Amino acid sequence: MAIQINDNGTERNMTPAEEAAYLAWAKTAKAEAEAQAAALKAKAEARQAVLEKLGLSADEADALLG
């Protein structure tokens, strides 16, 4: 089944070139989102490790650092 697109208010099937471009974009967007999520998770884990080394809770660290 072809992917539908809204072209100035008209629903139509994407051309093969449009579909290929869309699928390539979607793959890239998914990879970027996954990389960003992994980076945020790593940052949170690193922050938690530092807090544990210092013996502080997240609330205490927020109070100290503003």
In DSSP terms, which residues pair with 11 in a beta bridge? 6
Does the pTM of the predicted model rise above 0.85? no
Measured CA to CA, the distance from residue 50 to residue 56 in angstroms comes to: 9
Measured CA to CA, the distance from residue 43 to residue 59 in angstroms comes to: 17
For the stretch 1-49, pLDDT in tens is: 789 999 999 999 999 999 999 999 999 999 999 999 999 999 999 999 9
